[in-house]
Amino acid sequence: MKYIDEFRDGAVAQGIAANIAAAVEPQRRYSFMEFCGGHTHAISRYGLSDLLPPNVRMVHGPGCPVCVLPIGRVDLAINLALSRDVILCTYGDTLRVPASNGLSLMKAKARGGDIRMVYSTLDALQVARDNPQREVVFFAIGFETTTPPTALAIQQAQQEQLANFSVLCCHVLTPAAITQILESPEVRQWGTVPIDGFIGPAHVSTVIGSQPYEFFAEEYRKPVVIAGFEPLDVMQAILMLVRQVNEGRAEVENEFARAVTREGNLKAQDRVAEVFELRREFEWRGLGIVPYSALQIRERYAAFDAERRFDLVYASVSDNKACECGAILRGVKRPQDCKIFGTVCTPENPIGSCMVSSEGACAAHYSYGRYKDMN
């Protein structure tokens, strides 16, 4: 398929790998964080880490919306479905995220909750139109890619006066998470997580543009290379980061210029700004409470805010003690460092959120890399 196949060519990948091998300085160690789960998945699926010289290490970042969704938020959604008799519409990714009392949305559905998987907010709106006598709540999660479709759905619901439709908003922001990583003691004080640069998000950047990352290059002196999600994109981005480090540069470069501009999608940004405003604080799994890192629905659309409509109160819930998702999301540990990885915690029976989505660091390593370290 066009724009996919040519970015997966194995021979070309070997060529870029040779370029990387030639570019790295042998005495230097390079440590780059790929922020996005999409990149984590590509690195595992295509075995990219095996194409890199031993002194180039990739650190997985927190850019997997399912992984950073805290238990308390899933609990809110489950309670709506089980105790408030709503139809809960959700993207498929959230269905298996472990929540309190051994439940997940999938298990809540088995208990009789009316939970429906949708592909798009357009489908959630249709469910609301088809069931005027029922309350329909869309469980809105995700970074800046899924936020504009949620904004449109809320505006559409207002236009159609769909009074039975509302949104449980859990949308989070990429730049806030990158700041939190850079300000963490592991990176800033102790240096236990060295980060020499970032691979910046592909599709998030189509919406927000490359401009928001300029702050990280200027203030934190960290190079950022925005890259597509195909394997050759990731390899090229690593080469560009190596060159920046070698030359002492810290700039924002755009490897994904075929889809990302500096300004991003202004129409999408306008819709988001009309419907949402910053939340004072939001809890992330792994990163804790991060100020101004998420969005909430503006007062003028309050009628479509499920938190207001159902008087929902968020309660923080600790993760399973044995689960290392928190440390893995901060880049402090790797999936294979977790005691329950691949034994108690598997994609069929995930204990932590990183094992749920295919973009989660644990699920990616389980699917594509778990036998690698055995011999």
Site residues for other proteins per CB under 8 A: 1-4, 6-7, 12, 15-16, 18-20, 22-23, 36-38, 63-66, 91, 93, 119-123, 141-143, 145-146, 148-149, 152, 201-204, 206-207, 229, 232-233, 236, 239, 255-260, 265, 267-268, 271, 357, 359
Task: Kindly tell me which of 152 and 303 has the beta carbon lying closer to other proteins.
Answer: 152
* Shortest CB 108 distance to other proteins, Å: 20
CB of 202 to other proteins, least distance (A): 7
111 token code pair: 């208990």
290/288 Cα distance (integer angstroms): 6
Size of the chain, expressed as the number of residues it contains:
375
Nearer to other proteins by Cβ, of 149 and 175: the residue is: 149
Nearest to 363 by CA among 60, 52, 10: 60
- Closest CB 375 distance from other proteins, rounded Å: 32
What is the smallest separation between the CB atom of 38 and other proteins, expressed in angstroms?
6
Three-state secondary-structure class, residue 94: helix
167 CA to centre of own chain = 19
Strands (E), the chain: 30-36, 56-63, 87-90, 115-117, 136-142, 165-171, 197-200, 224-226, 252-254, 276-278, 281-284, 288-291, 295-297
Q: Tell me the residue type at 231.
A: P
Q: Which residues pair with 171 in a beta bridge?
A: 142
Nearer to other proteins, 144 or 196 (CB): 144
Q: How far is CA 339 from the centre of its chain?
A: 24
Question: Do 199 and 237 form a contact (C-beta atoms < 8 A)?
Answer: yes
Nearest approach in angstroms of CB 373 to other proteins is: 27
Tell me how far, at minimum, the Cβ of 275 lies from other proteins, in Å.
13
Q: For residues 263 and 337, which CB has a smaller minimum distance to other proteins in the complex?
A: 263
**Judged by CB, which is closer to other proteins: 209, or 309?**
209
Q: Judged by CB, which is closer to other proteins: 249, or 258?
A: 258
Encoded tokens for 154: 């809320």
